[in-house]
């Protein structure tokens, strides 16, 4: 008599359960042939922001880019905030202060140059003006 592996028995039970759930439509959407044909090619539409960001290319000196990226995740958002404060801010002093803070602050692991909280506070201060 062949020896039955416990893992194979459990796998068979799980597989049969999954097939039953699939047939009942519990965990997966069942698409008809008409729905599949009606789909458009490409990436599905997501939500549309009121002010979507625009992709662009900008060239930095290697040392500047390294310094920006050394702050960790969110470096592009921080650069965007500094550029916004310089060109859109009401006061030049705020823009200079934000740029100075970003340049001086030591990098913190996983927090970016200033940390998410500090950047958020400065961003809100700029937006309120």
Per-residue pLDDT at 16 exceeds 80: yes
Q: What is the C-alpha separation between 1 and 23, in angstroms, rounded? A: 34
Please tell me whether residue 10 adopts helix, strand or coil conformation.
Answer: helix
Buried b (16+ CB within 10 A) or exposed e, 35-73: eeeeeeeeeeeeeeeeeeeeeeeeeeeeeeeebbeebee
How many CB atoms within 10 Å of residue 114?
23
Q: Is the pTM of this model over 0.85?
A: no
pLDDT digits (tens, 9 = 90+) for 76-102: 988 888 888 777 766 667 667 766 776
Predicted pLDDT of residue 112: 46
> How does pLDDT run across 36-57, given as a tens digit for each residue?
788 777 776 666 677 778 888 9
> So what's the pLDDT on residue 89?
63
Quick one: pLDDT band at residue 21, thresholds 50, 70, 90? Answer: confident
In the predicted model, what is the mean pLDDT of the chain?
75
User: Which of 75, 126, 77, 82 is closest to 101 using CA atoms?
Assistant: 82
């Amino acid at each position: 008599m062949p020896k039955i592996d416990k893992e194979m028995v459990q796998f068979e039970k799980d597989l049969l359960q999954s097939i039953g759930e699939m047939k009942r439509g519990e965990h997966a959407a069942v698409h008809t042939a008409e729905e599949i044909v009606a789909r458009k090619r490409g990436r599905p539409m997501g939500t549309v922001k009121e002010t979507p960001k625009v992709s662009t290319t900008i060239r930095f000196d290697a040392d500047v880019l390294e310094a920006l990226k050394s702050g960790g995740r969110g470096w592009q958002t921080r650069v965007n905030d500094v550029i916004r404060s310089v060109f859109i801010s009401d006061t030049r002093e705020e823009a200079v202060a934000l740029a100075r803070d970003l340049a001086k602050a030591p990098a913190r692991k996983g927090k970016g140059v200033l940390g998410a909280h500090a950047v958020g506070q400065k961003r809100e201060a700029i937006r309120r003006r």
